[in-house]
Amino acid sequence: MRAQISFEFFIAFFFLLLFFILSFIIYQDEMQFANLFMSAVEAQSVASDFSRAINGVYQCGSGCSYKLQLKDGYYLAVRRRVLEVSGGPHVGQASLVSDNVNIQSATPGRYVTVINNKGVVELHDA
């Protein structure tokens, strides 16, 4: 009788261990997917922030300026009336009011000044 109890214990322990290992594998997979999703959301958020700043400065008129920080690992590009922010494997896009946007310098991790210079919105490091 004693050997039967320990055999049943090992069977139960094996299935419990198997359950925890499978749970951990599933958790790691979902965590990786969540991190990729959050990276895409972050790129879109940076694009929206800069788009709002550029559009606001453009609509304000000549002489208006705004300063905001470009997060580390993100790069700006303007294609016609679309602002693209690339960060890692993801690209965030946001629409612009005007295509008169000139990115002179926008270094990741530094503050960027957005200024309206006679109808042309310029971005340069602060």
Average pLDDT rounded to a whole number, residues 67-81:
94
End-to-end CA distance of the chain: 80
Average pLDDT rounded to a whole number, residues 88-110:
92
108: left (phi over 0), alpha (psi -120 to 50) or beta: beta
Q: What type of residue sits at position 51?
A: S
| Range with lowest mean pLDDT among 7-16, 20-29, 104-113 | 7-16
Which one-letter DSSP state was computed for residue 73? T
Mean per-residue pLDDT of the chain: 92
Confidence class of residue 103 from pLDDT cuts 50, 70 and 90? very high
pTM for this model (two decimals): 0.77
Average pLDDT rounded to a whole number, residues 78-92:
91
Of the candidates 115, 107, 78, 105, the one whose C-alpha atom is nearest the C-alpha of residue 93 is 78
Of the candidates 94, 48, 55, 54, the one whose C-alpha atom is nearest the C-alpha of residue 71 is 48
Cα distance between residue 60 and residue 76, in whole Å: 22
Cα distance between residue 79 and residue 2, in whole Å: 76
